[in-house]
Amino acid sequence: MNLPAATGAPPWIGLLLSGFAGRGLRAQALASGAHAPRPILTDDHLLMPMAMLDDDAAQGARAAVAHAAAHLKYSTPHSPTAGLRPMTVAVVSAFEDARVERLAMAELPGLRRWWAPFHVDAPADGDLSFGAFVARLGRVLFDPQLREGNHWVEKGRELFERQAAADLLDRDVFRRIASVLANDLGQMRVRFEPQQYRVEPTYRDDNSYLWTHAERVDVPPPDEQVLDAMPQLAAPKLSEAHASPDGEPQPEEIELGRYLVPEWDYRIERHRRDWCTVVETLPLAPPSATTSAVALPPQLPRAASERLNRARRLRRQFEGDEIDLDAAIEVMVDRRLGLVPDARLFRRPGREAPLTSLLVLLDLSESANNPVAGDGRPVLALEQEAALQLAQTVRGPSTRVAVHGFNSNTRGHVGYQRLLDFGASFDAGAAGRVSAARARHSTRIGAALRHAVDMLAHEPSTQHTLLVVTDGAPSDIDVFDPHYLVEDARAAVQEAKRRGVQVHCVTLDPAGERDARRIFGWRRYRVVTNTIALAAHLRLVQARAMVA
Amino acid sequence: MKPLASSDPLSAYRLAAEPYYRPTGGEIALYEHAYAHRMPLILKGPTGCGKTRFVEAMAWRLGRPLVTLACNEDMTASDLVGRYLLDAAGTAWHDGPLTLAVRHGGICYLDEVVEARQDTTVVIHPLTDARRILPLDKKGEIVHAHPDFQLVVSYNPGYQSSAKDMKPSTRQRFAALEFDYPQAAVEAEIVAHEAQIDTALAQTLVGIAQRSRALKHHGLDEGISTRMLIYAGVLIRDGVAPRDSCDMTMTRALTDDPDMATALRGFVDAAFA
């Protein structure tokens, strides 16, 4: 299975963390209103403050990942805090941070460069708060060359270094030393205020990973935590609010059938069986659609797409697997006659384009009525042009094309319009249906994808390709988790791959790139915002569609 | 057909020097047992983990010539068994590499056998059961395998699509040895030896590779292989800066995905002071 969604965090962070940890972990964005938030590490997630991810250089994120990985490798998680004062817990945690970083740097010396820039700011000299003491200690433990005038800090440094020289792996000894230090602080009348205290520097997590509080109830799973905290991040793009998901077919179309398809719920990592109802319709060509009304876009040059076919034998070739007997006899005859023989005396297998079925799936949701950023025309117009251009270009003896459209109005009604079917003649009626398609409702892409793959699977061709033309993020009015439909669509694409269907995507909105990449995968999508780029990309898809 | 005049028609296929091979388990003994019965073998394992080197080492150990064929989709049965060509006197049969090995007693090694089309690989069927014969249908000859002949094939079960697989009828004729990247210490020893670098550097490189292998199935088809580590080590030995060497031989070689490349560069960057 692929790594689960790194929602809100760039994918490389999750990859870096998984590589360091040696197992699959997720990185997520943590949008909390707290002042100076710190990353949070759990057994299989690293939640990072948005501010850290916004940083272009990503130095903070990189440092946080390395620190979290050090905990995962060297720390014992979830120790009970029973019997420990909060101040002791904080000092033990600070010692543990220093210890695991020391261990990690011994293994990966480059990490010192990752962390060092965050250890530059020393607390003000007169600052005698608990946080300042721990921050000073943290600095000298990170960089043993540093000297601090403070007695307590020097004591901590000395005890730490002595044990570090003996055995860095014995965490219990460090814990005892830290307890002694915490005790000293208590005797120095330093007050510990949990609400004020922040782990320093910023890349270090809040150390909640290390402890279990006896009274603590199980924390809610990170997904919910994050989602509760960040509803403003990516609220689902709602199409117009349809109060009644009535599911009544529109009068201008004929309902062909209703199908139940599953949906993938990434939070439970299960398919919900028979979850969505796909309503398949055949739109009736509008009366205005005559040949003259639909201006067909120019045909694209066909891409070369032939493959070896042993059923075709080419005779009289310059090279090949076997001798062409007729040619060989002529060569011998020519030789005896003293003529120059023809060198073309081999046979070899020919090449032929494989039989391909290409289904173009158009996103007919409300947002397709928005103008394209770089073009000014509605997205829908570009989608229709793409579909017509592709259908016109690739239709041929070896390629079957269909153009279908989809939109959704809750899971109870995923509209699926068969604008042009496989094998149907591409006439004015079909072109008119494509051109007259209207955009409305929402984008439940996964359900439509599954249904389209089912249709493709019945095609007799050797190559099956699905091209989704969309304007961006999937959404529906009954889904509030922005990642839910993305993950469902991603699962649908993976299922399609397993069934031998290649899925490509053209997205007409640059803002939808992130979701498109998540759903379709690297190199399987292209962001296109004008007609010229569209033609070039369609040609590429056509070429890809015809090679395995 | 008369035997060829040369005293050893497979002399070109004999190894000139002993190849370096560091065993990681009982594979040498197992191979020797299989060879004692001339049992056909499949070597499975990820790319660059030492399958080909192992066969070379065994061919050297057993004193047999090794006929290696890299399989590809365009390969035909004639590429394996041979074909007629025209010469001054008329047509003349030219043995293919497989036929040479069968006739004169070599070890024939078909590298990445699933890359060849299934209808091509069926020519090895009569060779790999009790008959041990190779019918040359175009020539009308049946070649009985030399007593020393053995067939070995390799393939990488990791990245090939399910569309490319061996036919069950082909597969069942083989015994199989499975390879994987060696344990860290052993792998470091191999990298240090092959690239002639010190063990500490080799261990650092192996650490990078292990982190990348954790990303297999998470976006990488294959992690960094032992072979890539040797390349990286060789360039570092030549004076290339370690980060540049790793970037060239590992990161850029392995992926085009910018996120994956960032993560891989992170492993490299963290590993060098």
Tokens 């370690």 belong to which residue? Answer: B242
Between A69 and B155, name the one with better pLDDT: A69
Query: Is 60 exceeded by the pLDDT of residue B127?
Result: yes
* pLDDT average per 10 residues of sequence, chain A (548 residues): 49 89 82 69 85 76 92 89 85 91 92 89 82 89 85 89 86 86 86 83 88 59 39 33 41 80 87 89 66 56 61 81 82 85 83 81 88 74 83 78 90 90 80 85 91 88 87 84 89 89 85 85 77 70 62
Own/partner pairs for A494-499, CB < 8 Å, 24+ apart?
A494/A2, A495/A450, A495/A453, A496/A449, A496/A450, A496/A453, A496/A466, A499/A453, A499/A457
Q: Is B211 on the interface with A (CB under 8 A)?
A: yes
- By CA distance, what is A22's nearest residue in B? B214
* Domain match, B150 and B191 both: no
Low-confidence winner among A119-123, B47-51, B171-175 (lowest mean pLDDT):
A119-123
- What distance in Å separates the CA atoms of residue B200 and residue B223, rounded to the nearest whole number? 21
Are A20 and A69 contacting, i.e. CB atoms less than 8 angstroms apart? Answer: yes
* Domain match, B131 and B41 both: yes
Q: Is B203 on the interface with A (CB under 8 A)?
A: no
* Domain match, B35 and B127 both: yes
In a domain, B206, yes or no: yes
Residues in chain B within 8 Å Cβ distance of A522 = 219, 256-257
**Predicted local confidence at residue A223, as pLDDT:** 42
Which of A509, A523, A276, A541 lies closest to A406, judged by CA?
Answer: A276
In a domain, B159, yes or no: yes
**Whether ipTM exceeds 0.90:** no
Q: Are strands A322-323 and B150-155 parallel, antiparallel or unpaired?
A: unpaired
**Predicted local confidence at residue B57, as pLDDT:** 95
Non-local (6+) Cβ contacts of A378 within 8 A are: A368, A369, A370, A371, A372, A439
In a domain, B102, yes or no: yes
Are A393 and A443 contacting, i.e. CB atoms less than 8 angstroms apart? Answer: no
* Domain match, B139 and B60 both: yes
* Domain match, B189 and B171 both: no
First to last CA, chain A: 23
* Domain match, B77 and B192 both: no
**Predicted local confidence at residue A348, as pLDDT:** 83
- How many separate domains does chain B show? 2
* Domain match, B239 and B174 both: no
Non-local (6+) Cβ contacts of B89 within 8 A are: none
* Domain match, B24 and B102 both: yes
DSSP-based three-state secondary structure for A69: helix
Are A68 and A43 contacting, i.e. CB atoms less than 8 angstroms apart? Answer: no
**Predicted local confidence at residue B162, as pLDDT:** 39
**Predicted local confidence at residue A291, as pLDDT:** 44
Mean pLDDT, chain B, rounded, equals 89
**Predicted local confidence at residue A26, as pLDDT:** 80
Low-confidence winner among A121-130, B137-146, B184-193 (lowest mean pLDDT):
A121-130
* Domain match, B171 and B226 both: no
Question: Beta-carbon neighbour count of residue A319 at 10 Å?
Answer: 9
Domain finish residue from B123, B149, B178 = B178
Q: Do A321 and B266 touch (CB under 8 A)?
A: no
- What distance in Å separates the CA atoms of residue A335 and residue A346, rounded to the nearest whole number? 17
In terms of residue numbers, what domain contains B218?
Answer: 184-271
In a domain, B4, yes or no: no
- What distance in Å separates the CA atoms of residue B191 and residue B237, rounded to the nearest whole number? 12
pLDDT tens digits, residue range B192-244? 999 999 999 999 999 999 999 988 767 777 889 999 999 999 999 999 999 99
Query: Is 60 exceeded by the pLDDT of residue B159?
Result: no
Q: Is A61 on the interface with B (CB under 8 A)?
A: no
* Domain match, B22 and B131 both: yes
Tokens 């433990």 belong to which residue? Answer: A141
In a domain, B152, yes or no: yes
Q: Residue B124: which CATH number?
A: 3.40.50.300
* Domain match, B169 and B206 both: no
Low-confidence winner among A352-356, B70-74, B159-163 (lowest mean pLDDT):
B159-163
* Domain match, B173 and B198 both: no
In a domain, B220, yes or no: yes
Q: Is B257 on the interface with A (CB under 8 A)?
A: yes
DSSP-based three-state secondary structure for A111: helix
Q: Do A24 and B218 touch (CB under 8 A)?
A: yes
Between B181 and A507, name the one with better pLDDT: B181
The distance of Cα A257 from the centroid of its chain, to the nearest Å, equals 33
Q: Is B137 on the interface with A (CB under 8 A)?
A: no
Residues in chain B within 8 Å Cβ distance of A16 = 262-263, 266-267
Residues in chain B within 8 Å Cβ distance of A310 = 119
Q: Do A22 and B214 touch (CB under 8 A)?
A: yes
In a domain, B3, yes or no: no
- What distance in Å separates the CA atoms of residue A295 and residue A431, rounded to the nearest whole number? 9
In a domain, B5, yes or no: no
Domain finish residue from B134, B154, B178 = B178
Which domains, from first to last, does chain A contain? 1-233 (no CATH), 253-296+355-545 (3.40.50.410), 307-352 (no CATH)
Domain finish residue from B152, B178, B204 = B178
